[in-house]
């Protein structure tokens, strides 16, 4: 499956800009955004309005769903509208339009609760050298959301599973690491969970190109970080994802 026309929700955001920059030459990109996106065909609507967004999905081969409320401390009402209602609307609009593949931007926050415990707490504090070996958190690990935001992303993954089983869509969920405007680690925590803009764009590209027989799956996406605790082997085995960047490479450039 190699889609030609790809609709990106939330293209004006940081990851949307990275997708446009790195993948714009490989696909005919369209945007679903509340504000116009210069140089890109853009349907302006809010994802909380199902009827308002439906025209954006016509004639689309695949959707990259990035639009969300990404602030962990956001009020519940905002997370409900953007991440719960909005995600339902995007999946439903894709179903009605006959879209074949959706790439859903999930988050490492779905298992962020592990970070309060050792050895992950030490890794995120920049004390990885004292830890030794540590078990990786994988797509099969029990869910432990960090905050209501993490729980809202679990809802999106569960809804994706439902739409695959009930409606025949292919939906691939990407638990995205910390993507930063400066595109380099800025805190001790980033040496575990940072994801470069190039690496997240590469992951999305691989999800778009994955065979149609891959109906549903969940992948972590970070760069190749020395103190990383999120498992990347599943993404490599299934998609061929190998990060091109590493947080440790920036340690002497701060």
| pTM for this predicted structure | 0.95
Confidence band, pLDDT 50/70/90 cuts, at residue 2: low
Q: Give me the CATH topology for the region 5-253.
A: Rossmann fold (3.40.50)
Q: Which residues of 61-95 are buried (b: 16+ CB within 10 A; e: fewer)?
A: bbbbbbbbbbeeebeeeebbebbbebbbbbbbbbb
Give the span between the Cα atoms of 44 and 141, in whole angstroms. 38
Confidence band, pLDDT 50/70/90 cuts, at residue 90: very high
What burial class does residue 201 get, using C-beta atoms within 10 Å of its C-beta: 0-12 exposed, 13-18 middle, 19+ buried?
Answer: buried
Domain ranges of the chain: 5-253
Q: What is the pLDDT of residues 110-132, one digit of tens each?
A: 999 999 999 999 999 988 888 88
- Which residues are identified as catalytic? 149
pLDDT at 213: 96
């Amino acid at each position: 499956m190699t889609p030609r026309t790809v609709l990106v929700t939330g293209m004006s955001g940081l990851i949307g800009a990275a997708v446009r920059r790195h993948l714009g030459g490989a696909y005919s990109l369209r945007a679903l955004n509340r504000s116009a996106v210069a140089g890109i065909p853009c349907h302006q609507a809010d994802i909380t309005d199902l009827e308002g967004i439906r025209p954006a999905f016509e004639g689309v081969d695949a959707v990259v769903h990035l639009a969300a409320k990404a602030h962990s401390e956001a009020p519940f009402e905002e997370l409900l509208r953007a991440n719960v209602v909005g995600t339902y609307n995007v999946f439903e609009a894709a179903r009605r339009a006959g879209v074949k593949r959706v790439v859903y931007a999930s988050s490492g926050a779905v298992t962020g609760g592990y970070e309060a415990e050792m050895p992950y707490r030490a890794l995120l504090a920049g004390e990885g050298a004292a830890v030794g070996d540590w078990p990786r958190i994988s797509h099969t690990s029990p869910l432990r959301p960090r905050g209501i935001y993490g729980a809202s992303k679990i809802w999106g993954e569960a809804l994706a599973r439902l739409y695959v089983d009930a409606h025949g869509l292919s939906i691939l969920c990407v638990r995205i690491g910390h993507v930063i405007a400066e595109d380099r680690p800025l805190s001790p925590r980033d040496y575990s969970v940072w994801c470069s803009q190039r690496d997240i764009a590469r992951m999305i590209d691989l999800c778009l190109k994955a065979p149609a027989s891959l109906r549903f799956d969940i992948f972590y996406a970070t760069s190749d970080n020395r103190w990383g605790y999120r498992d990347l082997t599943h993404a490599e085995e299934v998609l061929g994802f190998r990060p091109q960047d590493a947080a440790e490479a920036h340690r002497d450039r701060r």
